[in-house]
Amino acid sequence: MRAPSLTRPRGVTPVNTYQLSHLSDGALLSGLRTLVARDRETTAALLAHIAEVDQRKLYLPAAYPSMYAYCVGELHLCEQAAFKRIRAARTASQFPAIFEAVADGRLHLSAVVLLTPHLRPENVQDLLAAATHKSKAQVEQMLAERFPLPDLPAWVVGITPPEPAGQLSPGTVESQGSDESQQARAPLAPECTSDRPRVRPLAPQRFAVQFTMGQEAHDLLRHAQALLGHHVPTGDIAAVVERALKALVAQLEKQKCAATSRPRHTARPSSRNKRHIPAHVKRTVWERDGGQCTFVSDTGQRCPARNRLEFDHVQEVARGGEATVSGARLRCRAHNQYGAERTFGAEFMRHKRLAAAETRAAAKVRRVTRGPAGVTEQAATTTQASEQDVVPWLRALGFRTDEVRRAAAYCQSILDASLEERLRLALSFLAPPHRKVVAMGT
């Protein structure tokens, strides 16, 4: 029995396509099998199209910074569907046998995603055969047998239960150890042991944030709650995090786009570096472009990217471009590279990126091997960690870069000491001679 067609012949009275109560059991089951087969073929064709669009980077001229953003923004796929199809498409482009396996129903997309980390040219046929017509759980079991992982460490996660009114204030960091509290935590465990951080909307302008923090972050949170005891008496985590984010965003805006409440009225002397963009230009361009990539497609679609933004010269520096307000714009990393490739050619830019990577690698080797004989990479890493430890504090106090680096190197002798002790030693090193004598005498 042939499956019913979903298209209405000419001259036939319109019937609701999705009302199937008039079909016999056999016709209904036959139609279902036909649609599933058609869906598998369509899915395989969809993967092939995604793989080719991804390889040609056609999402860039459409004003999207990535294939994922294009699938969500232009094709209106949900986030999980976009991720799974892009991952499967990229894997299938490496191993074309996957296209046929998906089209004839031997593999589903979840299986392809699970197989992806383990596929190699020498084992692809074997793994595809082993995963044929298996459920997701069966594929996971098969992979666990072929690629065993070490046992997870034994651990216990404490989940704070909802507190009745009048007890602990919302957001207070406390540890509960009673049997009753342990039982109350049990219903929350599946929700709170998610495998990745999440931000979930709860109500208008209200969001639930879930993540796991380390000991250092926990100690900082407790310390911040204590310091804000007068301003946030309840210790509410949301209020503490909001204050912390405001301070962090202000600092990052100052670094990224030269934001300041007291801009200079007189511009500094122009830099000799033609690619340098002055602070006042950064501030104006960032505000004018709204902190968003300015690339616009031929259809008028503006790139939605707000992360990995870069200040880009409208006219290339090599062609006389200047770092002025009208000569600069915001571009995401992907569209910045895309513009350069359209101007200078993809092959030219590929060689430029390779050369830049080699230069960075050589500079890293020089940093490791520079200095007295016997300096090892481990020592160089320790030096860099020490510099990153005390440098921000010394720079905040107004010391010059060369002074800061000398002081940081001087602190190598007490790497096991606390930050406060190392900072005191650095300040003593940088103090004028007459101040050092006084410090020694106290």
Residues 6+ apart with CB under 8 A from 185: 158, 159, 160, 161, 176
Q: Which stretch, 233-247, 281-295, 371-385, 419-433, has highest mean pLDDT?
A: 281-295
Query: What pLDDT, on the 0 to 100 scale, is given for residue 61?
Result: 94
Bridge partners of 62, per DSSP, are none
How does residue 152 score in pLDDT terms, banded at 50, 70 and 90?
low
Instruction: Name the residue with higher pLDDT: 234 or 414.
Output: 234
Question: Which among 99, 100, 121 is positioned nearest to 50, based on CA atoms?
Answer: 99
Q: Which range among 24-33, 198-207, 369-378 shows the weakest confidence by mean pLDDT?
A: 369-378
Question: Domain spans of the chain?
Answer: 25-146, 207-257, 279-366, 371-441
Query: What pLDDT, on the 0 to 100 scale, is given for residue 414?
Result: 64
Look at residue 155 and tell me whether its pLDDT is greater than 80: no
Q: Which stretch, 16-20, 100-104, 197-201, 409-413, has highest mean pLDDT?
A: 100-104
Look at residue 393 and tell me whether its pLDDT is greater than 70: yes
Q: What are the pLDDT digits (tens) for 92-126?
A: 999 999 999 999 999 999 999 999 999 999 999 99
Helix/strand/coil (H, E, C) string of the chain?
A: CCCCCCCCCCCCCCCCCCCCCCCCHHHHHHHHHHHHHHHHHHHHHHHHHHHHHHHHCCCCCCCCCCHHHHHHHCCCCCHHHHHHHHHHHHHHHHCCHHHHHHHCCCCCHHHHHHHHHHCCCCCHHHHHHHCCCCCHHHHHHHHHHHCCCCCCCCCCCCCCCCCCCCCCCCCCCCCCCCHHHHHHHHHHHHHHCCCCCEEEEEECCEEEEECCCCHHHHHHHHHHHHHCCCCCCCCCHHHHHHHHHHHHHHHHHHHHHCCCCCCCCCCCCCCCCCCCCCHHHHHHHHHHHCCCCCCECCCCCECCCCCCEEEEECCCHHHCCCCCCCCEEEEEHHHHHHHHHHHHCHHHHHHHHHHHHHHHHHHHHHHHHCCCCCCCHHHHHHHHHHHHHHHHHHHHCCCCHHHHHHHHHHHHHHCCCCHHHHHHHHHHHHCCHHHHHHHHHC
Query: What pLDDT, on the 0 to 100 scale, is given for residue 369?
Result: 58
Q: What are the pLDDT digits (tens) for 407-440?
A: 777 776 666 667 777 777 777 777 765 444 333 3
Pairing of strands 206-210, 309-313: unpaired
Query: What pLDDT, on the 0 to 100 scale, is given for residue 122?
Result: 94
Q: How far apart are CA 387 and CA 372, in angstroms?
A: 18
Q: What are the pLDDT digits (tens) for 216-228?
A: 888 899 988 888 8
* Contact predicate 169/239, CB 8 Å: no
Q: Which range among 54-58, 247-251, 273-277 shows the weakest confidence by mean pLDDT?
A: 273-277
How does residue 166 score in pLDDT terms, banded at 50, 70 and 90?
very low
Q: How far apart are CA 437 and CA 169, in angstroms?
A: 52
Query: What pLDDT, on the 0 to 100 scale, is given for residue 30?
Result: 94
Q: What are the pLDDT digits (tens) for 139-150?
A: 998 998 899 877
* Contact predicate 136/107, CB 8 Å: no
Q: Is 0.85 topped by the overall pTM?
A: no
Question: Which among 59, 60, 53 is positioned nearest to 342, based on CA atoms?
Answer: 60
Q: How far apart are CA 405 and CA 395, in angstroms?
A: 10
Query: What pLDDT, on the 0 to 100 scale, is given for residue 41?
Result: 96
Helices 401-410 and 377-396, packing angle to 10 deg: 130
The string over 146-162, giving b where at least 16 C-beta atoms fall within 10 Å of a residue's C-beta and e elsewhere, is: eeeeeeeeeeeeebbee
Bridge partners of 329, per DSSP, are 312
Q: Which stretch, 285-289, 380-384, 433-437, has highest mean pLDDT?
A: 285-289
CB-count burial class (<10 Å; 0-12, 13-18, 19+) for 50 = buried
